[in-house]
Structure formats: structure tokens, C-alpha cells
Amino acid sequence: MGSSSSGIDQPIELDFEVGTASSAHGIIYAHIREILDPLSQESPVPANRAAPAPDRPRNPGGAQLRFDWERMWIEIAAIAKTPDGLPDRPTLTKLLYDKMIEWDWEPLPSESAVKAKLRHLFSSLHLPE
């Protein structure tokens, strides 16, 4: 991913639609949504198979999600793929809020909500904050 501090020495391909990540050697990291976004209400994908394409909306009748968190995770993956890798958590938070403003997120998510998601990411990947 561009950051040696993550312990990953090979490129990882992320598929946020299915909820998996895989390496060039076929190693599959299933349940990426559960790992990166434990507050997500989507069900995890079993490690031995990909999720089928949805025929209908995932959450019919339920409340609309307030923020496009997947877009945030994709932005984090893009930042991680840069030569410098992921910055420390406060810098990443600032970068993400700048992007949220660019994306016209109105209202913006609370700082505590973003911090909670990033705290879980950094602790899951054993990154210094």
C-alpha cells in the first residue's frame, strides 16, 4: 500500500462493493467493512466466496445512510497507496475533512465519528497514531 509500517509488502486490491481485499498472491482479506467500519450495518462476506451482485437495494425500507463512509474508505486507500503512505491520524483527519468539504457533504460528520473510525483503522493495522 505504499507504507511499510502497515506490514504489507505487496499491493492490495480493494473491492468495497463486495467488501474484500486481495493480494497479488491470492490472499483474501474478507470482511473488510467489518474490520475497517465496525459501525457499518452491512453483513460481512464469507471468506470462501464473493458476495453476489445485489438484485435490489441493500437496505430497502431502512433509514438512508447519512454519510458515504465507503467513499471515505476509498479515499483513505488512495492516500495509503501514495509513496508516503498513511499520515498520522490528525493529519489524515484534516485531509479527510478537506475532501468531505470538496464532496459537498453537508452537514459534515462529527469529529468524534471520524476519529472513532480512524482509531479502529489505525489499531487494526497496528499503525502509530
| Sequence ranges of the domains in the chain | 4-51+65-124
Q: What is the pLDDT of residue 84?
A: 92
DSSP string, 53-110: PPSS-SSTTSPPPSS-HHHHHHHHHHHHTSTT----HHHHHHHHHHHHHHTT-SSPPP
Task: Report the alpha-carbon angle 69-126-13, nearest 5.
Answer: 55
Mean pLDDT computed over 53-68: 63
Q: What is the pLDDT of residue 104?
A: 92
Residue 32 has pLDDT above 90, yes or no: no
Q: What is the pLDDT of residue 66?
A: 80
Mean pLDDT computed over 118-126: 90
Q: Report the alpha-carbon distance of residue 68 to residue 71 in Å, rounded.
A: 6
Mean pLDDT computed over 60-71: 75
Residue 129 has pLDDT above 90, yes or no: no
Here the cell at position 98 is 478537506
